[in-house]
């Protein structure tokens, strides 16, 4: 795991190129505290920070081909690089190291841009082809590793994090107000734009070329959700040598027929998952496991424990509040598999003390409160290992969230409701009956077909928004309210939902894998790298994804049972109490804290002079939100979280003040936190 940065200029580099590249590189020191490298020629600068995982002695970057004409900087791991190496050496390529990085260079020499189809792993890399004066940027299929880029005249800049690009001083940090409705709704941007004007994400499964001043972007892989031939998926995905393109179109009926024709689906799923875990044990340093006690991380831990020759080290985090502490589940799994467990318990002061610095690490407003405990467990793990495996990705792949069942029910019930009830009566019920229901019942009814349009924007996206569009229209300043529309907030999400053929569940899962999962992976990457630790995600091996994505719905969501194929595959490996445990996610008591003493801190952030003068919020409305939340009239936790992060982000990057310090309220009780992990200053390794 590393940090990469650099730039290419059509007109040639100026005399400031070297110090500029060093600044861009070294602001990423936390991503690679072990070594630093730099390559500069008349038109390109490639910079690298290294976290040494594989080939510790000779894996330095940037690295080149045999004659020094093709150079690369690379972040990630290529798990099948030894197989590719044997092929390349048989074709005459000569190696100087054992690193997977050098394999990518020779693969590019052999196959050009199509070399990406040979790679199995997580990756973001930049290849500079000096004779052609051509830059190639590539991001892995699922978006496990980040990569950002922008243009400044005839120069294209790139980096693992946005702050590397900003540190070049070739562009100014300016807010991208156009994406604000989407960010406040979904918590992130679903397309290539970011919160910074002119700075873009290279999307998962895409590659970018820059030559003669022209930028070209092409998708090279896509999730085959609901579009593949089930029988072909089973046979080819079970073969480690196969490369399914995911482009075949097949009907739902054929997929169901395939289910009957292939009774060993559980065996094949487990085989692919075990293979994925085995591949991700590739390292020359110690490995561990993030363990929550849920079925996803428990499954990976159980498989991993059988594959290593020493007790597995697991790492878990919880909050001091009993209702938000699930450590007993993690302990149960650790005991069952003979693991050595490590735990950290944090409290409100740990959380809010770290938050501003983590906004700096994330580059954009933090989407999820769970990012903060993820940092703390990463820092704990860094004291013992250098690489961890995680259970990320299973929920989006196998319909693990309870919302999928609720969405399907709401959509189908709405279909019948529209058919039987005239429009005038539906309007009367929505406007006259639902608001008068008892508070608890009204809250559920307003998020059902009784009060919502039967559209994906309303039922699927806005229904689960951090700040729904109706709330944005009174919380935002008058000049921004008109932008709080469905197309502005949900156009990108709707495009993903509409893309695949297949069932409603197929389309929901596809949209989440292209949007929500990408943001979760950014959280995973940024928070683990803030602590200088590499995280790997076995559920997102692309062969496993291709296999699972084309399974019929019944293997994912069967009645009230989520992740059916995973539960079946883990029978005998995990205790029944874990296999049958309801999903809880990772609860964070942010709403509780901001009803108490931290409400005043949120008020200081959101309603001080800078925030008022920024012209984004309506101060009176935010004041009411904070009061209503504190007095239990509403649950404003999500809205307060999003607005606080937006303001902290503005202060950190747009005002250029760097990480802030939040004043802690008076302590009402002794801290129950067992956390002894200190957050390093920004830009330094943990």
Cβ atoms of 31 and 103 within 8 Å: the answer is no
- The CATH number for 7's domain is 3.60.20.10
Q: What is the mean pLDDT of residues 46-69?
A: 85
Question: Is cis: bond before 120, omega within 30 of 0?
Answer: no
Beta bridge partners of 76: 123
Instruction: Write phi, then psi, for 531 (nearest 5 degrees).
Output: -100, 10
In the predicted model, is pLDDT for residue 345 greater than 70?
Answer: yes
Same-domain status, 517 and 400: yes
- Using pLDDT thresholds of 50, 70 and 90, give the confidence band for residue 666: confident
Q: What total number of domains does the chain contain?
A: 3
In a domain, 463, yes or no: no
Continuous segment of H or E residues that includes residue 73: strand 70-78
In the predicted model, is pLDDT for residue 186 greater than 60?
Answer: yes
Instruction: Give the long-range contacts of residues 324-328, CB within 8 A, separation 24 or more.
Output: 324/587, 324/588, 324/589, 326/292, 326/293, 326/584, 327/293, 328/293
In the predicted model, is pLDDT for residue 254 greater than 80?
Answer: no
In a domain, 464, yes or no: no
Same-domain status, 212 and 352: no
Q: Cα separation of 16 and 35, whole Å?
A: 22
- Span between the terminal Cα atoms of the chain, in Å: 14
Query: For residue range 274-329, what is the model confidence (pLDDT) as tens digits?
Result: 999 999 998 888 899 999 999 999 999 999 999 999 999 999 999 988 766 779 89
Cβ atoms of 163 and 363 within 8 Å: the answer is yes
Polymer length of the chain: 686
In the predicted model, is pLDDT for residue 90 greater than 90?
Answer: yes
Task: Determine the structural domain holding residue 614 and report its residue range.
Answer: 590-654
Q: What number of other Cβ atoms are within 10 A of residue 69's Cβ?
A: 13
Same-domain status, 664 and 604: no
Task: State the sign of the Cα–Cα–Cα–Cα dihedral 538, 540, 546, 549.
Answer: positive
In a domain, 342, yes or no: yes
User: CA–CA distance from 295 to each of 179, 301, 351, 396 (Å)?
Assistant: 35, 10, 26, 14
Query: For residue range 158-182, what is the model confidence (pLDDT) as tens digits?
Result: 999 999 999 999 999 999 999 999 9
pTM assigned to the model = 0.91
Same-domain status, 325 and 417: yes
What integer pLDDT is reported at residue 48 of this predicted model?
A: 96
Number of alpha carbons in the 13 Å side-chain half-sphere of residue 328: 6
User: CA–CA distance from 596 to each of 619, 631, 639, 672 (Å)?
Assistant: 20, 10, 16, 17
Continuous segment of H or E residues that includes residue 535: strand 534-536
- The CATH number for 399's domain is 3.40.50.620
- Helices 230-237 and 265-279 pack at an angle, to 10 degrees, of 40
Instruction: Write phi, then psi, for 54 (nearest 5 degrees).
Output: -125, 140
């Amino acid at each position: 795991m590393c940090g990469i940065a650099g730039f290419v200029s059509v007109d040639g580099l100026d005399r400031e190129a070297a110090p500029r590249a060093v600044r861009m590189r070294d602001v990423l020191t936390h991503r690679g505290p072990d070594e630093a490298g730099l390559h500069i020629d008349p038109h390109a600068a490639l910079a690298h920070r290294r976290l040494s995982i594989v080939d510790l002695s000779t894996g330095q970057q940037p690295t080149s081909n045999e004659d020094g004409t093709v150079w690369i900087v690379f972040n990630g791991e290529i798990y099948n690089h030894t197989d590719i190496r044997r092929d390349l050496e048989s074709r005459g390529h000569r190696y100087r190291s054992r690193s997977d990085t050098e394999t990518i260079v020779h693969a590019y020499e052999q196959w050009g841009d199509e070399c990406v189809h040979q790679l199995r792993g997580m990756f973001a890399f930049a290849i500079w082809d000096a004779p052609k004066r051509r830059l190639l940027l590539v991001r892995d299929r699922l978006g496990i590793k980040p990569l950002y880029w922008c243009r400044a005249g005839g120069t294209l800049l790139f980096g693992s994090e946005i702050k590397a690009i900003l540190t070049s001083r070739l562009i100014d940090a300016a807010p991208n107000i156009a994406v604000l409705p989407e960010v406040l709704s979904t918590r992130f941007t679903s397309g290539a734009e970011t919160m910074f004007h002119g700075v873009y994400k290279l999307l998962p499964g895409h590659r970018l070329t820059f030559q003669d001043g022209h930028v070209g972007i092409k998708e090279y892989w896509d999730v085959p959700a609901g579009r593949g031939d089930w029988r072909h998926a089973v046979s080819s995905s079970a073969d480690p040598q196969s490369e399914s393109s995911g482009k075949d179109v097949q009907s739902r009926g054929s997929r169901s027929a395939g289910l009957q024709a292939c009774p060993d689906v559980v065996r094949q799923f487990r085989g692919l998952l075990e293979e994925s875990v085995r591949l991700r044990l590739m390292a020359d340093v110690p490995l561990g496991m993030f363990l929550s006690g849920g079925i996803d991380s428990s499954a990976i831990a159980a498989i991993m424990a059988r594959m290593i020759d020493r007790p597995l080290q697991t790492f878990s985090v919880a909050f001091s509040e009993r209702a938000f502490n699930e450590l007993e589940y993690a302990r149960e799994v650790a005991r069952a598999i003979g693991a050595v467990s490590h735990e950290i318990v944090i409290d409100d002061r740990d959380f809010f003390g770290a938050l501003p610095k983590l906004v700096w690490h994330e580059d954009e407003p933090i989407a999820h409160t769970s990012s903060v405990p993820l940092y703390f467990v990463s820092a704990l793990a860094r004291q013992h290992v250098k690489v961890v495996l995680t259970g990320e990705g299973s929920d989006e792949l196998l319909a693990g969230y309870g919302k999928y069942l609720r969405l399907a029910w709401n959509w189908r019930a709405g279909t019948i409701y529209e058919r039987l009830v005239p429009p005038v009566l539906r309007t009367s019920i929505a406007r006259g009956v639902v608001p008068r229901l008892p508070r608890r019942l009204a809250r559920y009814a307003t998020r059902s077909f009784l009060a919502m349009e039967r559209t994906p924007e309303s039922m699927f996206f806005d229904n689960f928004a951090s700040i729904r569009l109706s709330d944005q229209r009174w919380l935002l300043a008058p000049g921004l309210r008109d932008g709080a529309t469905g197309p502005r907030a949900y156009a990108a999400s709707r495009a993903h939902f509409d893309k695949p053929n297949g069932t409603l569940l197929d389309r929901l899962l596809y949209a989440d894998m292209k949007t929500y999962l990408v943001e979760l992976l950014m959280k995973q990457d940024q928070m683990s790298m803030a602590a200088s630790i590499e995280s790997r995600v076995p559920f997102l091996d692309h062969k496993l994804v291709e296999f699972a994505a084309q399974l019929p719905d019944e293997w994912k969501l069967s009645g009230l049972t989520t992740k059916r194929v995973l539960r079946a595959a883990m029978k005998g490996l995990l205790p029944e109490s874990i296999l049958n445990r309801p999903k809880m996610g990772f609860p964070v008591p942010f709403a509780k804290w901001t009803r108490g003493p931290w409400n005043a801190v949120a008020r200081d952030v959101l309603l001080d002079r800078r925030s008022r003068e920024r012209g984004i919020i309506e101060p009176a409305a935010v004041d009411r939100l904070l009061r209503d939340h504190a007095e239990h009239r509403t649950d404003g936790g999500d809205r307060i979280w999003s607005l606080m992060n937006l303001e902290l982000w503005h202060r950190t990057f747009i005002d250029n003040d760097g990480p802030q310090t939040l004043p802690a309220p008076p302590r009402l009780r002794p801290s129950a936190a067992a956390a002894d992990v200190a957050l390093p200053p920004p830009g330094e390794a943990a």
